Amino acid sequence: VSQQIIGRWLADLFDAVITIDPHLHRVGALDEAVPAGTAIALSAAPLIGGTFRATGVLMLGPDAEAEPWVRAAAAAAGCDAAMCRKTRRGDRDVEVTLPAVPYEGRHVVIVDDVASTGQTLAAVARQVLARGARRVGVAVTHALLVDDADAVLRAAGVSEFLSTDSVPHPSNRIGTADLIAAALRTLPR
């Protein structure tokens, strides 16, 4: 509900809206949420994947909603991808079922659009490590990391956490300026 209200408000204020990995799981396209003259939804997934190119990682999605990001990141990295199934009972109460793929001795990177409480990512990390993964990292577009999320992820065994610079955070390792600049060049002048 708030997405449509804020989207209409933004559309009234701007001729064009450019965003990276908007959380659009309940609408088909950005222009449905933000009916501006031009609404461009960019993806940082190829940038995320590029940071892991030729490392042989397994990119793992924490839930079905993450599948587009995970598949695009894995394609850019040239590595395997798999998706978990998630049941959410509350903001900090999730159950995750891992896909049936080999984890023993692997470097697993959990890829998602946003990390807020860290609970889902931590649940995946604990299970992957219990199945013998050598190392577990997390890569997200938007690092919100509210409250004790950093500590939750560390306690779950996450050894690396990286994000784009879409939200200022110490984990920012992936720049988005070139991605945004390319989109800006497509706008009418």
Active-site residue flag, 11: no
The single residue of 77, 86, 142, 145 carrying the catalytic annotation is 86
Q: What is the 3-state secondary structure (H, E, C) of the chain?
A: CHHHHHHHHHHHHCCEEEEECCCCCCCCCHHHHCCCCEEEEECCHHHHHHCCCCCCCEEEECCHHHHHHHHHHHHHHCCEEEECEEEEEECCEEEEECCCCCCCCCEEEEEEEEECCCHHHHHHHHHHHHCCCCEEEEEEEEECCCCCHHHHHHHCCCCEEEEECCCCCCCEEECCHHHHHHHHHCCCC
Just list the catalytic residues.
Answer: 86
